[in-house]
Amino acid sequence: MVIGKHRPSRIVVDQTAIYQNIANEKARLTDKTELFMVVKANAYGHGLLQVAATALRAGATGFCVAILDEALALREAGFNQPILVLGITEPQYAALLAVNHISATVGSLTWLKTAQGFLENEHVTTPLAVHLGLDTGMGRIGFQTSTQLAAAVAYLQTAEQFTFEGIFTHFSKADSADTEYFEQQLKKWRVFMAVVPDRPKYVHVSNTATSLWHDACNGNLIRFGVGGYGLNPSGVELEPPFVLHPAMRLESRAVFVKALKAGQSVSYGATYTAQEDEWVATVPIGYADGYRRQLQGFHVLVDGQYCEIIGRICMDQLMIRLPHEYPVGTLVTLVGEDHGQTISLQEIADYCGTIHYEIACGFSERLPRFYQN
């Protein structure tokens, strides 16, 4: 996608905030527990390579991604730390994983057998590191029974094409005050682990939520995701054990300012009609940038004042009602702080009826990312 370098709409990422979030979490871990920074989905919209570099400075020892291409992008940029692909990679790419020293998530014995065939056919001499994923209740990927798991573990003991590097699960309700389902998953995890007599290098169950509120379960590796970006995985239900510093700011500027007369309408469908004379600014950002159409009626910040978004949000522009005339070029804050007032990703998510993860990841690459320390 073309990056919008010649307009004022942009995302500003506070690298110090990311550093501090990771450092604060690292301070809670034992010396034997590693932290892999989750940088999937362009680092939750914050920028893959820049966040990866900041995470290393803060003490991360590896990375988690969702797809192979994200891992390859890290390798091509010169990152040589451990990388785990959390999603299932098709077995025909086993050689590509192996030669780039990228660890694969495996959820079935069939995958191992198929991947072994590809490794043999391509004469790959580097063993492929695998992490066995266990479905304890997430219902997404992973081994379903202890019998299936035991068969895979036995297979790995004799298949020289693989290194049994890790085993893990993912908790679906670790961010809830109601811990009943979490405890059910934890019980299933222990049943699974009873058939793994020789533990691999990495044993891990903790995403951000688990590491924040169930740190006794951490194992020797945590997958630190949304917390690293300063976002609370529970929304507002649970308080984290330390202050999370949001790293993302979204800002633009007024590119057109006009006096709107009473009775005049704004944007597609004429869904907004001025009841009295008012000042309106046009801001060059829209739903093609990931600023969602549902945000009509929400607000932005101008000079520390909340200004309503009026009329339908367009693909590339939106309009706001100003308290009085402001000059073209005036700063418009869509996410972040301005003169002591703040708009958070959580507020936007609440307005849209979703979660802040989706909002952050939804900002398109058309918005340039700028980084500040």
- The annotation status of 28 as a binding-site residue, yes or no, is no
Of 5, 32, 40, 291, the catalytic one is 40
CA angle 329, 317, 341 (to 5 degrees): 60
Q: How far apart are CA 121 and CA 273, in angstroms?
A: 68
What pLDDT is attached to residue 236? 87
Structural tokens at position 267: 């944007």
Q: Are 78 and 63 in contact (CB under 8 A)?
A: no
What pLDDT is attached to residue 264? 98
Host H or E run for residue 92 = none
Residue with tokens 């050689």: 95
Q: How far apart are CA 320 and CA 162, in angstroms?
A: 58
What pLDDT is attached to residue 29? 95
Q: What is the pLDDT along the chain (373 residues), one digit of tens a residue?
A: 899 999 999 999 999 999 999 999 999 999 899 999 999 999 999 999 999 999 999 999 999 999 999 999 999 999 999 999 999 999 999 999 999 999 999 999 999 999 999 999 999 999 999 999 999 999 999 999 999 999 999 999 999 999 999 999 999 999 999 999 999 999 999 999 999 999 999 999 999 999 999 998 899 999 999 999 999 999 989 999 999 999 999 999 999 999 999 999 999 999 999 999 999 999 999 999 999 999 999 999 999 999 999 999 999 999 999 999 999 999 999 999 999 999 999 999 999 999 999 999 999 999 999 999 9
What pLDDT is attached to residue 103? 98
Q: Which residues pair with 327 in a beta bridge?
A: none
What pLDDT is attached to residue 235? 92
Q: Are 110 and 143 in contact (CB under 8 A)?
A: no
Q: How far apart are CA 147 and CA 73, in angstroms?
A: 36
136 backbone φψ class: left, alpha, beta (φ>0; ψ -120 to 50): alpha
**All domains of the chain in start order, with CATH:** 15-229 (3.20.20.10), 248-343 (2.40.37.10)
- The annotation status of 223 as a binding-site residue, yes or no, is no
Structural tokens at position 208: 């951000």
Determine whether 292 is exposed, middle or buried from the number of CB atoms within 10 Å of its CB (0-12, 13-18, 19+).
buried
What pLDDT is attached to residue 249? 98
Q: Are 118 and 94 in contact (CB under 8 A)?
A: yes
Q: What is the pTM of this model?
A: 0.96
Active site residue 268: yes
What own/partner pairs with CB < 8 Å and gap ≥ 24 does 88-91 have?
Answer: 88/141, 91/115, 91/118
Active site residue 357: no
Structural tokens at position 316: 């590339």
What pLDDT is attached to residue 324? 98
What pLDDT is attached to residue 167? 98
305 backbone φψ class: left, alpha, beta (φ>0; ψ -120 to 50): beta
What pLDDT is attached to residue 279? 98
Of 113, 187, 261, 268, the catalytic one is 268
CA atoms within 13 Å, Cβ hemisphere of 210: 25
